[in-house]
């Protein structure tokens, strides 16, 4: 018998809130999958009410809607608050697709590490070996690019120095990879090759170029054949340079720099400024399936997964591997995945070390630093349970995750 529990709070106009538990069928681990982390297999019970409360909070802070899905071995729980479409008032749901922003970087890294497994790429080889003449410094390796230690300037600093005008200037534009790299190379580098972590979308534009050069196919084809089709991801697409999200989806809303200004509907866009750094569309279901498969050892060899998990410091309670972020939570548990910020959407997608518990959460707004920081609470509740420690307020704005240091974020002083 399937049991379902629904948690309800104070009625909110145009808001739908639900948390359900249903059985799921996990795919078996392949032989040679990584050993199960003892801490990951004994996680505290998730605080599902806490997840719901975080979503209510981000809605009060300016997100039209927010969703979360928690896959925990054979149990699925999900939550949804607010609206997918401000004009129609349609309630948001975990059935809605959305733009995942920089969670795309994990897909790109997986494709490249599969190419390492196929002996077509070496992590410590210079990028210029595969893309002759692209970069001015022959010491920049594939590993440096995937770990944000190349020193390549993030061209989005200038592109989005003013949020809405910057977005409107590129909304329907189609860039080549080389045009984006050239924008980066027109600015000084941030560190020497192999230096300190410095987040830059340029690195994963280069990653996309490597995928296409080594396979002779588009990144769309490679994402589909290497990840989307094998995992049966039914909501995951790379439509660039198309502007529409296929099927049922949440509309995205961009927060202007001026306090109190009306949200801008940013749903339709090419995302050509990001491409292999941030243009994938997905759902909470598919993101959990993807991360569980990756961390469960079903997408790369054990050796390449270990390479992804070679960490360098990347900010407060964080580290970065190869296209993979580690977040260290208040209860001492670490989770693995990525955050994503793209105009109109914020995404958190993380899983336990063994991949057996995964959480994907999204809000359909962006350029709102308060919402971005509050979304971290979904991870605390999902993985620490009631052991989660209250976040200090006001939380510092995360400027060095998926938006470059120079990009402004609006912050609610309350």
Instruction: Point out the residues that are catalytic.
Output: 102
* Joined tokens for residue 62: 């300016």
- ∠50-52-58 over CA atoms, to 5°? 105
Give me the phi and psi of 336, to 5 degrees please: -135, 130
Give Cα 159 distance to the centre of its chain: 20
How far, in Å, CA of 367 to CA of 344, rounded?
8
Specify whether the backbone of 62 is left (phi greater than 0), alpha (psi in -120 to 50) or beta.
left
Q: Which residue has the tokens 């599969």?
A: 114
Q: What angle do CA 397, 343, 269 make, to 5 degrees?
A: 170
CA 388 – CA 44 distance, rounded (Å) = 10
Instruction: State how far the Cα of 407 lies from the Cα of 414, in Å rounded to an integer.
Output: 21
CB 99 within 8 A of CB 365: no
Q: Does residue 166 contact residue 150 with C-beta atoms inside 8 Å?
A: no
Q: Are the beta carbons of 46 and 385 closer than 8 angstroms?
A: yes
Torsion angle (degrees, nearest 10) of CA 259, 264, 269, 273: -10
Q: Name the residue with tokens 């009410």.
A: 49
């Amino acid at each position: 018998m399937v049991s379902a529990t629904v948690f309800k709070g104070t009625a909110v106009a145009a808001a739908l809130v639900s948390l359900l538990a249903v059985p799921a069928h996990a795919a078996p681990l392949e032989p040679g999958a990584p050993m199960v982390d003892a801490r990951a297999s004994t996680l505290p019970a998730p605080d599902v009410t806490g997840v719901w409360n975080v979503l209510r909070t981000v809605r009060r802070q300016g997100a039209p809607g927010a969703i979360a899905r928690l896959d925990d071995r054979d149990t699925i729980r999900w939550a949804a608050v607010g609206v997918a479409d401000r004009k129609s008032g349609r309630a948001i749901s975990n059935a809605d697709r959305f733009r995942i922003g920089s969670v795309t970087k994990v897909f790109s890294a997986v494709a490249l590490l599969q190419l390492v497994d196929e002996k077509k790429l070496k992590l410590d080889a210079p990028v210029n070996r595969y893309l002759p003449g692209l970069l001015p410094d022959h010491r920049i390796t594939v590993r440096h690019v995937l770990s944000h230690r190349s020193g390549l300037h993030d061209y989005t600093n200038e592109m989005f120095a003013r949020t809405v005008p910057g977005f409107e200037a590129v909304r329907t534009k189609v860039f080549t990879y080389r045009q984006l790299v050239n924008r980066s190379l027109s600015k000084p580098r941030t560190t020497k090759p192999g230096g300190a972590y410095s987040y830059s979308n340029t690195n994963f534009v280069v990653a996309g170029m490597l995928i296409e050069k080594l396979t002779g196919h588009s990144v769309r084809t490679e994402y589909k054949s290497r990840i989307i089709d094998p995992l049966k991801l039914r909501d995951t697409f790379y439509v660039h340079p198309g502007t529409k999200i296929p099927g049922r989806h949440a509309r995205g809303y961009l927060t202007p720099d001026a306090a109190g200004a009306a949200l801008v509907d940013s749903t339709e866009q090419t995302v050509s400024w990001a491409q292999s750094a941030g243009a994938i569309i997905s759902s909470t279901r598919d993101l959990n399936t993807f991360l569980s498969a990756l961390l469960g050892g079903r997408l790369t060899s054990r050796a390449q997964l270990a390479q992804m998990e070679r960490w360098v410091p990347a900010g407060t309670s964080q580290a970065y591997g190869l296209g993979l972020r580690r977040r260290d939570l208040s209860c001492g548990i670490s989770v693995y995945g990525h955050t994503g910020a793209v105009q109109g959407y914020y995404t958190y997608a993380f899983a336990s070390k063994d991949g057996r518990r995964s959480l994907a959460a999204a809000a359909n707004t962006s350029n709102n630093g308060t919402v971005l920081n509050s979304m971290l609470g979904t991870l605390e509740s999902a993985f620490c349970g009631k052991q989660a420690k209250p976040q200090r307020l006001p939380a510092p704005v995360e400027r060095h995750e998926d938006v470059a240091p120079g990009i402004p974020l609006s912050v609610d002083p309350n």
